[in-house]
Amino acid sequence: MSINTKRLDRFISENCQINRKAVRLILAQKRVSVNGLIASDIAMIVDQFSLIVMDGKTLQSNQPYYIMLNKPIGVVCATKDEKHKTVIDLLKGKYDEQITSDLHIVGRLDLNTSGLVLLTNDSRWSERLTSPEHKVGKCYYVTLAKPLTSDYINAFAEGMYFSYEEITTQPAELRIISPLQAEVILTEGRYHQIKRMFGRFRNQVVVLHRHSIGQLNLDETLPLGDSRNLTPIEVINITE
């Protein structure tokens, strides 16, 4: 069972400080509803977004949030930082503090990388996006200091071995746009991975910008530093 799900009887027991035997009776008396429906099964599984009401009192009514942010260079993907502005700082004033305190970042970008960042309070959704088995692609536009050749395409497709971590990267797709520009699609997110992969060719990354995750493209009408909620269709379709 996921850490974000639990049995209904356990939820009520923990939240109301009553024993499981008493919970069984409460459910039999039809005093509890889950998502608007009377609940009687003690083994019913609920999650962090289940609306749970007992005797007319709401025990839980959390709302999921899925937010797209256009991250500028110079902002860190962190909840707190003593030196730099964070992505959470960019949300302040637009979202309540209670909401921002529950958010986590889905796939971080480093200080000098711009583009699409996702934030959510739904850990099951973020796990689907970041888990290696789902292989959700993340697309980046890269500007380089030196011209590209077809050798880069093969090297990225084969994966690269990094002795420090003793790992070989997953195959990555590289498409040359112009002599100094490329699009790179990764299905993983190793530390400074794109910069290190181009570093094998002694080619410095000058500009790095993430423009999509899965089927979700950065909203080009969204100004740098601004954010918006994802639509229900975007939330569902991102991993399709």
CATH number at residue 88: 3.30.2350.10
Interatomic CA distance for residues 85 and 80, integer angstroms: 8
Contact 181, 144 (CB under 8 A): yes
Same-domain status, 71 and 105 = yes
Question: What pLDDT score was predicted for residue 82?
Answer: 87
Q: Are residues 20 and 112 in the same domain?
A: no
The closest of 192, 185, 182, 149 to 170, measured between CA atoms, is 185
Half-sphere CA count of 52, side-chain side, radius 13 A: 23
Instruction: Check whether residue 52 and residue 70 sit in a common domain.
Output: no
Here the tokens at position 136 are 């959700």
* Residue-level pLDDT at 3: 57
In order along its 240 residues, the chain shows pLDDT tens digits of: 455 789 999 999 999 999 999 999 999 999 999 999 999 999 999 988 899 999 999 998 889 999 999 999 999 999 888 899 999 999 988 998 888 989 999 989 999 999 999 999 998 899 889 887 788 999 999 999 999 999 999 999 999 998 888 889 999 999 999 999 999 999 988 888 999 999 999 999 999 999 999 999 999 899 999 999 999 999 999 977
Candidates 41, 55, 96, 110; catalytic one:
110
120 and 77 in a common domain: yes
**Domain tally, the chain:** 2
Q: Let me know whether 51 and 99 are in one domain.
A: no
What phi and psi values does residue 211 have, to the nearest 5 degrees? -110, -10
Q: Is 41 a catalytic residue?
A: no
Co-location of 116 and 168 in the same domain: yes
Domain span at residue 44 reads 5-60
CATH number at residue 29: 3.10.290.10
Residues 48 and 83 in one domain: no
